[in-house]
Amino acid sequence: MAFNPGSKRGAMADINMTPLIDVMLVLLIIFMVAAPMLTTGVDVNLPESRTGRNLESEALTVTLINDGRIQFGEKFVALPTLQNQLKKKAGEGPKRPVMVRSDAAVPYGRVIQVVDAIREAGFTQVGFVTAPAPAKAPEAP
């Protein structure tokens, strides 16, 4: 509260907004800088387990060849046959994950047809097998 001796009304009751705005802007900048740091992951060295499950060894594998043919097991099958065989596998016991291996040249629509057939057969865990990216060569100084 400021006192103005030349005024007949007494003390001035206005709030000085400049320091308030300065503090708010500084806090805004601090939060804008700190927010991206809060969403990053942390590197964790996971413990080893002798009883862990190897998901790929128990998964069913469906392979799409570059000409669009489907391989399930050791044989090439048509899409309806694949769906029937997967329904039989789903009825045999606990549902296992299904891994889809597809050539890069296979059209996206064909891959989605196969994934739809897998899901219609009753499988909910569908994964895609990819090749690891080649390691970058170190740059020469």
49 band by pLDDT with thresholds 50, 70 and 90: very low
What is the number of domains present in the chain? Answer: 2
Q: Which residue range(s) make up the domain with 116?
A: 55-129
* pTM for this entry: 0.54
Q: Are residues 27 and 59 in the same domain?
A: no
Q: Tell me the C-alpha distance between 72 and 85, whole Å.
A: 9
Q: Are residues 121 and 80 in the same domain?
A: yes
pLDDT at 105 over 50: yes
pLDDT of residue 58: 75
Q: Are residues 60 and 119 in the same domain?
A: yes
